[in-house]
Chains A and B, each alone.
Chain A
């Protein structure tokens, strides 16, 4: 291993990450779960209750994508993979994409697009309210994602606003926890909670360290 120092390893990974095709490949990979779900619907492979399966699986993919996007900064800083910064916006938009599919499956398949029923449902059930709040925040982040928006808002304000993704992570976990609470089935919720708290904890530790340095 003496020949491949960590630095050289990172440089090599960065070179791959900077290749124009890497982002296209990532785009295809991130789209794959959605395509597979569409195929599963078409081939009737979602079991006896396909509507519920769709709502659940789109929810799963929202959480997974959220974990990925939160992992970018720790990986970038920790392993000096600067190339990862190029993927941040696209991955963030994929979180919004899967959250939209999740909301659509609920509104369409579960509620039959009855807008009045949905409007009644949201405030009545804390679990839905929490999920919907998270979605609204994601929508704001998605709308403000283009580069010209960053320039318009100013980097500092924009960054502050986009730190709301941490709130989204907390709300998404709470939403998932509540969904599983009725069955006392917390294994999966615990796994996501562990991943997300590690990723947010890393940021917290870093923030405290930076705070102590003289400015």
Chain B
């Protein structure tokens, strides 16, 4: 692997500053023990809060990506965080194959360095933005979001990134810009799935400009306190927590500002099944299955009942007003 330097946007702490993993973990274990009441009731309430503050451990597989807790409303779900093993091993990333385990197996060939994102279309400041600059554009925040896949399963993932609006403001969209189109990498040399005809490559997603400007819409660079693993859309991806997972495009190559609604990949492939909006909506079924319930990966047992899917994936209070007066059955 490459050794990343300050020049590339990675500032390394002195090795003497780093708490050894074993010490860190034993402290976590202590806190958990106390929270479970072993060390007395007085300490337990404090420890309980502390244990809740970061309910997962960094997996230690990628470079660390430090962050601060997000202050955006609704950005820190209290649901139990999905195991890193599942979040990085059960993925839909068709550029690497249609099987859920294909991305983890084949994405390692993806070359994420150097990386730049082309900003084009109706903006005052188009151009190529290097990953190193994008990383520093705004403070990296931790956001614990529910992720609801259109296939009927869900996870809870602690992302690291910042609101996409920070980037949008920087590039200054023109008044005529109404939509944002996201074009992702399609490299037949490193992505075996691109040679298949499952979808029209490159994978394209899109949002209305007001959706893209919503503070919950995240430009993510990491998860679980580390940079994104390749199978999760490294080096940067979109995360739109109130929409089905496929709206959250991975490994972004271009962001284009347009006046007309972008032609998104899944909508082109099957318009009757996947709408442009694709907001999580338990009342509007997919033609081939119900969207009323979901299975939380790694948590709901094999024979447990599936849990009810929430309107806008539980983000209705934050995003409901974006769709006021819209017929969500028609604009699914």
Interface residues of A (CB under 8 A from B): 41, 47-52, 54, 108-110, 112, 117, 121, 124-125, 127, 178-179, 181-185
Contacts and interface: CB of A to CB of B under 8 A. Distances in A.
B210 interface: no
A74 B219 CA distance: 59
A125 B285 CA distance: 10
A109 B98 contact: no
Contacts, number: 51
Given A48-B89, A48-B90, A48-B100, A182 B197 contact: no
A88 to B, nearest CB: 34
A184 B288 contact: no
A181 B270 CA distance: 9
Interface residues of B, number: 26
Per DSSP, are chain B's interface residues mostly helix, strand or loop, or mixed?
Answer: loop
B166 interface: no
Contact of A47 (B101, B295, B303, B305): B101
B100 A49 contact: yes
A47 B100 contact: yes
B199 A184 contact: yes
A179 B98 CA distance: 14
Contact of A125 (B198, B269, B289, B303): B289
A117 to B, nearest CB: 8
A49 B83 CA distance: 13
Interface string B234-254: 000000000000000000000
B316 to A, nearest CB: 24
A181 B197 CA distance: 12
Nearest to A180: B98
A196 to B, nearest CB: 22
B303 A109 contact: yes
Contacts of B306: 110, 112
B304 to A, nearest CB: 8
A125 B288 contact: yes
Contacts of A41: 302
Contacts of A124: 285
B54 interface: no
B290 interface: yes
A178 B199 contact: no
A50 B302 contact: yes
B297 A48 contact: yes
B127 interface: no
Contacts of B295: 49, 51-52
Given A50-B302, A109-B302, A125-B288, A182 B101 contact: no
A182 B100 contact: no
Contacts of B89: 47-48
Contacts of A185: 98, 198
Interface in B172-205: 197-199
A179 B302 contact: no
A48 B302 contact: no
B273 interface: yes
A184 B101 contact: no
Top-6 shortest CB links A-B = A48-B90, A112-B305, A48-B86, A48-B297, A184-B198, A50-B302
B287 interface: yes
A49 B288 contact: no
B298 interface: yes
21 contacts: A41-B302, A47-B90, A48-B90, A48-B100, A48-B297, A51-B295, A52-B151, A54-B302, A109-B302, A110-B306, A112-B305, A112-B306, A117-B290, A121-B290, A125-B289, A127-B288, A179-B288, A183-B198, A184-B199, A184-B270, A185-B98
